Structure 1
C-alpha cells in the first residue's frame, strides 16, 4: 500500500520533519526514522490489542448461545454482556499497575508486556469448550480469560498515547496521538469484517459449533508480531531524561493523588463520552441492529464496517483540528453535538432503510471522532511526565470500567426495563452532559509545554 493511502505512513511521513512549538527542544534528539517506527509500532500494537478485545463484542450473540444455558434471548445476551462488563472492573486496578510500571520502569516495558498478555488471553477463548460440553465451567473460564484481557487493555491505550505524545513535535501532538484511536478503530474494523464474512459464508450451525472461534485464533501470531516490533524501540525522550536525572517517582499513584487530584477528576469526567460512545456506537451497534431492530446479522456488520472505515479517516482530521484550535474547544463541540443529535439519530435507525442506517452510523462515528481524536493528547498533556502514564491510565480505565464496559449491558437492560428502543441514545446523552461539565473546568493544554515534574 502506498503512503498516499496509508494513514500510518501519512502521519509518520508528515510529522517526522520536526516542529516549532512551545515545548523546549528535548536533550535527546529524535530522528525522522525513529518517529516513523514509533508511529508504526504504536498503530500495530494498539490495533492488535483492540482487535482481540472487540471480537468478543461483535460475536456476543453467538457467544451467548455457546457459553450460557438455554434461556430467553435477552437473558442470554445480558449474561454475555455481563461478562463483558465484569472484565472492565479489573481495569482500574490494571491502570494503577501499568501506570506504575510505565512511570517507574518505562513506557516500552509496559507496552511490550501488555500486548503479550492480551494475545494469550484472547487465544485461550478459542480453546474453551462450550456450556453443552463442560457446563458451568464454560462461563467461569470465559470470565477468567476476559478478566485477563481487561487487565491487559488497562495499560494499552494510555501507554500508547503517552508514548506518541512524548515523541511528537510540539505542534503536532494532537495528530500523533490520534494514531491511537485510529488503530483502535482499525482493530474493530478487522473484527467487523471477519464477523460479516463469517456470518455471510457460514450457516448458523457452523458458526455456533466452530466458526466463531476463528477470529480468536488469530490473536497469537498477531500478538507476537506486535510485541516484536515494540521491543525494537527505545523509550521516549521525555522518560529517558526523567530517568537520567533520577526524577522518576518511586510511587507514581501516591504522587498523583497528592498533587494532581483536580486533573484526575477532570480527566475521569472527560473520558465518559468516549467510554459510553465508543462501546455503544462502534461495538454494541451490530447487536442493537440485529437483536432490537430486526436487521440481518450480515447487514448489521456491514453497516458498522462502513462507519468504522469513515471513522478512521475522520480521526486524523480531528487530530489536526485539535492542534490548530485547541483540545478544550474540540471536546466541548463533541459533547454539545451528542447532547442534541443522539436521540434523533437513534430514531432514524428504525427507518428500515439500510442507507439511512449507514448514514446515521457515519454521523455518530464522525461526532465521536471529535472527542476520540482529541482525548488522547488532552489526557497526556494534563499530567506531567513523572505521573503521565498513571494519571492517564487510572482516569481512562476508571471511567471505562464504570460506564464503558457496562454500556452494552446497560443499553440492553434499559431497553428491557423501559421497552423503549431509544434508551441507548438517552444513555449516551447523559454521558455527553457529564463530559461537557468536566471539560468546562479544564484548562487548555495544547499550546503549553509538556510538564516534566
Structure 2
C-alpha cells in the first residue's frame, strides 16, 4: 500500500466509495450473523418446552439458557481458528467462512426434532448448532471489528467501527421484528409448535445472500501491506504472546461491557416477563423500540470518540453501569407500563453505548496488523464465554434461588473491574494501523504549524 492511500483530509472520491462499500458489505454480513445468534434468545420463550420435559417453565428456560451459554464456549475456539485465518489469509476470507458456518447452524435448528418426537436427541441437535454458531461468532466479531476499523479513514475509525454494533443491533431488531409480526399473525399454540422455526429458516437464506456479497468485498489496505511480507508467526499464538499485555487489556475492558450488553438486550425481555409480570407482546415491543434508538446512537458516539478520544466514553459507561445497574434493574422489575419500561431501558442502553460504540476500534487499535484479528478475537471470546454468555444463566440462577437482586450487584461488580482498566489504559485513538499511517503521521508532525494537519 502506498502512502498516498491514507490521507489526512477527506479521501479522494474513489477511496471514499470503496470505504463506503466496505462498511456496507461488512455490516450487512455482521447483521445476518447476529440475527441468527440473537434469534435463539428472542424465540427461546416459545421453543423451550419443545426440547425439554414440560414440568417447570423456569427450568426449561434455564436449560435453553444453558445451551445459549454453551455456545459461548466455542467462541474462543472460533476466535483462535478464524482469527488466525483472518491474519494469515485475509479479513475477507474469514468473513466469508463465518457466514457459511452460521447458515448451516441455522438450518440445523430449523429442522431439529422436538422432545416428543425424538426425546433428548432434539436438544443434542440444538446444542451442536449452538456450538457451530459460537465458533462462527467467535471469528465474526474479530474479523468484522478488524475489517471495519482498517477500512475506515484514520480520523473516522470510531465512526466506522461503530457500525459493528449498529449491524449487531439491527440483526437483533430484525429478529424481534419477525417475532412481533408472528405474535400478531399466529396464535401462541402455532408459535410454540412450528412458528419458532421460521426465523431460523430465514436466517439460513439471509446468510446465503450475504455469502454472495462478501465474496465481492475488497481486502483492507492494512492487511495487503502486511501480507506482502512472509511471516510464519503471523496470526499465531506465539505472536499473540508477544502482546499479552494488550490481550489482557482486551479481556478486562470487555468484562463489564459484555455483561451489561447481554443484560439489557437478550435478558431484558425475559426479565420484564418473568419479574415485572409484563405481557410477552409488550415486553418484546419495549425491547424493539429501545434497541432501535440504541442502534441510532452508535455512530454519534463513535464520531464523538474520534474528537475527544476513546477513554472518556469508556469511563462514562463504566461509572454509569457501576452505580446505575441496581436502581435501574430494580425499577424495571416493578415497571407496570410500556412507557416506564421503555424509559428505563433507554437509560440503560444510553449508558452501555459508551462501550458498544467504540470497543471494536479500541481493541483493533491495540495490536499490529500481523496479529490484530487474533488479538481482538481470542481474549474477547474468552471474556464473553466466561461472562457475557453466562449472564442470562446467572440471572436466572439467582432468580431461581430467590436472590434475584444479587445479579444486579454482579453486573455492577463486572463494570467496576472494567472501570479500573479504562482509567489505567492509554487512549488508542491516535494509533497508526499501518506503515502508511505512521508515515502520514510523521509528515503531519513535521509540517509547520497551520499547515492543515488533521491532528
Is TM-score (shorter-chain normalized) higher than 0.5? yes
Question: Shift in Å at residue 118 of structure 1?
Answer: 0.5
- Going from structure 1 to structure 2, the CA distance change for 1:302 and 1:328 (only over 3 Å counts) comes to same
Structure 2 residue aligned with 1:106: 90
Structure 2 residue aligned with 1:20: 8
In the alignment, the residues of structure 1 paired with residue 78 and residue 409 of structure 2 have an alpha-carbon distance, to the nearest angstrom, of 30
Structure 2 residue aligned with 1:296: 279
Structure 2 residue aligned with 1:436: 419
Question: Shift in Å at residue 288 of structure 1?
Answer: 1.1
Q: Are 1:226 and 2:210 matched, yes or no? A: yes
Question: Shift in Å at residue 126 of structure 1?
Answer: 0.9
1:317 pairs, out of 292, 300, 323, with: 300
1:211 pairs, out of 195, 204, 208, with: 195
Structure 1 residue aligned with 2:399: 415
Worse overlay, 101-110 or 244-253: 244-253
- Going from structure 1 to structure 2, the CA distance change for 1:71 and 1:231 (only over 3 Å counts) comes to same
In the alignment, the residues of structure 2 paired with residue 45 and residue 441 of structure 1 have an alpha-carbon distance, to the nearest angstrom, of 34
Q: CA RMSD in A?
A: 2.0
Q: Are 1:326 and 2:326 matched, yes or no? A: no
Task: Map residues 143-154 of structure 1 onto 2, 5 A cutoff.
Answer: 143-154=127-138
Contact map agreement 1:91 1:398 (CA 8 A) in 2? yes
In the alignment, the residues of structure 1 paired with residue 15 and residue 232 of structure 2 have an alpha-carbon distance, to the nearest angstrom, of 25
Structure 1 residue aligned with 2:245: 262
Structure 2 residue aligned with 1:8: none
In the alignment, the residues of structure 2 paired with residue 29 and residue 451 of structure 1 have an alpha-carbon distance, to the nearest angstrom, of 21
Q: Are 1:282 and 2:270 matched, yes or no? A: no
In the alignment, the residues of structure 2 paired with residue 403 and residue 250 of structure 1 have an alpha-carbon distance, to the nearest angstrom, of 29
1:241 pairs, out of 225, 231, 234, with: 225
Structure 1 residue aligned with 2:27: 43
Contact map agreement 1:120 1:219 (CA 8 A) in 2? no
Structure 1 residue aligned with 2:374: 390
Question: Shift in Å at residue 227 of structure 1?
Answer: 1.2
Q: Are 1:165 and 2:149 matched, yes or no? A: yes
- Going from structure 1 to structure 2, the CA distance change for 1:326 and 1:251 (only over 3 Å counts) comes to closer
Q: Are 1:374 and 2:362 matched, yes or no? A: no
CA deviation string 1:80-119 (max 9, x = no partner):
1000001111111111101110011111100001011101
Structure 2 residue aligned with 1:4: none
Q: Are 1:119 and 2:107 matched, yes or no? A: no
CA deviation string 1:288-320 (max 9, x = no partner):
111222111110000000000000111111101
1:448 pairs, out of 431, 435, 438, with: 431
In the alignment, the residues of structure 1 paired with residue 206 and residue 217 of structure 2 have an alpha-carbon distance, to the nearest angstrom, of 18
- Going from structure 1 to structure 2, the CA distance change for 1:396 and 1:298 (only over 3 Å counts) comes to same
Structure 2 residue aligned with 1:347: 330
- Going from structure 1 to structure 2, the CA distance change for 1:251 and 1:212 (only over 3 Å counts) comes to closer
Q: Secondary structure of 1:31's match?
A: helix
Q: Are 1:155 and 2:107 matched, yes or no? A: no
In the alignment, the residues of structure 2 paired with residue 78 and residue 402 of structure 1 have an alpha-carbon distance, to the nearest angstrom, of 17
Q: Secondary structure of 1:126's match?
A: helix
Structure 1 residue aligned with 2:408: 425
CA deviation string 1:407-435 (max 9, x = no partner):
11011001222x24434422221111111
- Going from structure 1 to structure 2, the CA distance change for 1:438 and 1:201 (only over 3 Å counts) comes to same
In the alignment, the residues of structure 2 paired with residue 36 and residue 184 of structure 1 have an alpha-carbon distance, to the nearest angstrom, of 18
What is the number of residues matched between the two proteins? Answer: 431
Q: Secondary structure of 1:129's match?
A: coil
Structure index of larger Rg: 2
Question: Shift in Å at residue 199 of structure 1?
Answer: 2.3
Q: Secondary structure of 2:111's match?
A: coil
Structure 1: stretches of 5+ with no match in the other structure = 1-16
Contact map agreement 2:255 2:414 (CA 8 A) in 1? yes
- Going from structure 1 to structure 2, the CA distance change for 1:264 and 1:313 (only over 3 Å counts) comes to same
Question: Shift in Å at residue 198 of structure 1?
Answer: 1.9
In the alignment, the residues of structure 2 paired with residue 94 and residue 408 of structure 1 have an alpha-carbon distance, to the nearest angstrom, of 21
Contact map agreement 1:123 1:218 (CA 8 A) in 2? no
Contact map agreement 1:185 1:308 (CA 8 A) in 2? yes
1:181 pairs, out of 165, 188, 191, with: 165
Question: Shift in Å at residue 40 of structure 1?
Answer: 0.6
Contact map agreement 1:58 1:284 (CA 8 A) in 2? no
In the alignment, the residues of structure 2 paired with residue 434 and residue 345 of structure 1 have an alpha-carbon distance, to the nearest angstrom, of 20
Structure 2: stretches of 5+ with no match in the other structure = 439-455
